[in-house]
A and B are shown apart, each in its own frame.
Chain A
Amino acid sequence: MLYREAGQFKSSYSADMAMFPIRQDRIALALLLVVAFFIVPFVASDYFLRAILVPFLILSLGAIGLNILVGYCGQISLGAGAFMAIGAYSTYKFTTGVHLPLDWFGTEISIPPLAVLPSILLGGFMAAIVGILFGIPSLRIKGLYLAVATLAAQFFFDWVFIRVKWFSNYTPSGSVAAPELNFFGLVVHSSIERYLLCLAFVTVFAFIAKNLVRGSLGRQWMAIRDMDIAAELMGIRPFYAKLTAFAVSSFMIGISGALWAFVYLGAWEPLAFDINRSFQLLFMVIIGGLGSILGSFLGAAFILILPIFLDQVPHALGIPISVETISHLVFIIQGSLICYLLIVEPHGFARLWAIAKEKLRLWPYPY
């Protein structure tokens, strides 16, 4: 009754191809953004903003990035953690100044410390460049074999950031601390500011992603995903389509890595971006729904927020259980939920959402 598109006539191609063709969706999204930007910061507690929403938003951005590659273009990647690390360390290098002596060429690269925002974007670009490099094998190898190739990227960059001291500015411990988050004179410090910063980044990039996947580029990616030979015969260049997917995906993952390091952790070591981070992002994409921007958010919420929530239930209810029992229970419950979900709905939360929408259209008179 409420959610019905009857009577919404489209009189132009652009209206038909709009990002959100149904009016109710547009209203809901606008409301959601208003709530997220103007209401949540004032009602949510410090803990909720800083320890739940900030990491949730950052990993959602990472999941969107990975979803472009895995969900839309069909290239399985296990290197998401590495691209996050590249984003984080490049941003760190750009904010602290790059000095790279190139003795062989008798010159040196010297860039003075940059402001935080350009550094984060440059960090994304560095991740994109490396993403393109590691995407080149995808032109020859496919499916699980590509997953192994991207796994190589993961281990290679783990190794690079641990061993090459230049990246951590030669700190003895190998742990680096993010400089002050100064955005054009505005220093981001409190939880609300951190939250709004992440929210702004995620909103912008989610819109960009949503826009890309409905356009020519997104259709090329999906054509490659669905059948690469047919796509090639139709005139889609796999080289261009696959490498743009790698570039866009790595860019967003790189940005999310930079935010994870600078906004959430504050000080980090390569272990923050190890193979488990790659798996975490991949699970978010799979559980949330391959090939869905909304699914990336739902998957991130399920993988990140659910365990934190489960962890606190016994204490909130006043049940005296020791922390180790709780943490084992969380593993068991979440594991069973993942199995259950994949059996009941292998296409993830996004598909559940789509089914709910279909039902809502007929409600209250289903046939």
Chain B
Amino acid sequence: MLGRSLALGAALLGLAALEEPALAQGAGEQFLPRLVYRTGAYAPNGIPFANGAADYYTMLNERDGGIGGVKVVMEECETGYATDKGVECYERLKSKGATGAAYVSPLSTGITFALTEKVFSDKIPLLTLGYGRSESRNGAVFPWNFIALGSYWTAADVAIQHIAKELGGMDKLKGKKISLVYHDSPYGKEPIPALQLRAQKNGFEFTAIPVTHPGVEQKSQWLAIRQNRPDYVLLWGWGVMNSVAIQEAAAVAYPRDKMIGVWWSGAEPDVTPAGDKATGYKALLLQHPAGKFAVHADIEKHVYAKGQGVGKDTLGQVLFNRGLIDSMIGSEAIRTAQGKFGKKPLTGEQVRWGFENLNIDAARIKALGFEGMLAPFKFSCADHQGADMARVHQWDGKAWKVISDFYTADRSLLDPLVADAAAKYAAEKKITPECAKS
């Protein structure tokens, strides 16, 4: 009997805990929800990114006492890369802290699609660094989405440009066969329209080969590639799918140096499980390479030396560095917004202003310690992406080596795609495209 009443008491306590409003967070602190995945099939890639994003804020708190003196408080929530879990995490964290969530960065295209519907009414910016809805570049239709630095359409275009360069010119693409092996989800399907457009324009033959989630079974896909013998294979995978693809490519003797991954398929966890088979594999770079820069020294000094931080063993990896950039863009947006609204915890709506007016020039990049990692960029209402550049790097068996200069995606080709898709979305959702007056 006692046991039963204890169980009942525990259950009631549990309900109370679920109901518990945000407490323990000081009034003078900026709250930042962190949707991460450190478990499941996508954890190998989710962990370094989450580590980098977290350690950057820990470093800001330790070194500068936060952003403009306002300490940043983070809370992680495990999504497991699942959309419904991501929505739950978002709802759980969106109104915590003194002013609610500053912004959300879910690192999942599926969750981004679901949250895009919700941030409109919750007024929370959605930072999607190099992933998410490609058409959300149009800030008049998607005021809350910030698809910073690149979309899948940018990536597709740059990948084709690199292939053309390897072949010796755009005209050499004619008659070539290019296959896309993609994760069968919104993430993997996004680049297809851009690639079809390129195929039409440059006259290559394009085939898209889907791989079902989570991508551990790819035998039939690579058999199709063995029969079809495409000149190049583009890989749009995430998590274990990437390393499996590289191993399957080796099994059918498809040359790894004819494979080009998107920037989400080009990190250490993607190639190390494949061992020697991964040597020669190429992938796009979302501007920044692997390695350590000035900002890493600060993190080592202010975070790891004090026994804090979570990502010591992933420091300097590709995805760790991308996590750093993600947090850098977010924190700079908050800093920009502080310039207008004052040095205090800001609401999502105020941070959105900061994003839209964010201008990271070369001097600022140097001051932040990101010199060599990325090029200057600037957001505006019409352009929530800010940059169109990417490079290519290659795995030499031990490390990633940058093998190309910066490519710039052809906006004359992609902008009509963005405009079309955004107009369609606006019509479906009855949005009047308009830039906020600020």
Contact = CB atoms under 8 A, between A and B. Distances in A.
A48 B192 CA distance: 39
B17 A316 contact: yes
Name the interface size band of chain A.
35 or more
A179 B19 CA distance: 30
A276 B295 CA distance: 42
Interface string B219-243: 0000000000000000000000000
A106 interface: no
Contact of B190 (A173, A274, A316): A173
B88 interface: yes
Given A47-B92, A318-B24, A312 B18 contact: yes
A207 B145 CA distance: 43
A267 B189 contact: no
Interface in B97-125: 109-110, 113-114, 116-118, 121
B186 A313 contact: no
A264 B18 contact: no
A94 to B, nearest CB: 15
Contacts of B92: 47, 51, 312
B128 to A, nearest CB: 13
Interface string A132-155: 000000000000000000000000
B78 A311 contact: yes
Contact of B91 (A51, A172, A189, A316): A51
Interface string B73-90: 001111010011001100
B186 A324 contact: no
Contacts of B213: 271, 274
Interface in B338-366: none
A324 B185 contact: no
A47 to B, nearest CB: 5
Majority SS at the chain A contact face: helix
Contacts of A189: 121
B78 A313 contact: no
B36 interface: yes
A309 B17 contact: yes
Contacts of B77: 323
Contacts of B421: 172
Contacts of B14: 309, 313
A230 interface: no
B3 interface: no
A172 B197 CA distance: 13
B95 interface: yes
B113 A48 contact: no
A328 B80 CA distance: 11
Interface string A177-211: 11110000000010000000000000000000000
A266 B39 CA distance: 25
B313 interface: no
A52 interface: yes
A180 B429 CA distance: 7
Interface of A: 44-48, 50-52, 55, 96, 162, 172-175, 177-180, 189, 264-269, 271-272, 274, 308-309, 311-313, 315-316, 318, 322-324, 326-328
Closest 4 CB pairs of A and B: A266-B117, A51-B91, A324-B38, A173-B186
Given A172-B190, A269-B83, 10 more contacts: A47-B94, A52-B18, A96-B428, A174-B189, A175-B110, A177-B428, A312-B17, A323-B76, A324-B39, A326-B78
18 contacts: A50-B91, A96-B428, A162-B184, A172-B192, A172-B193, A175-B113, A177-B113, A179-B428, A179-B429, A180-B429, A264-B84, A266-B114, A269-B185, A308-B88, A309-B18, A311-B78, A313-B14, A324-B38
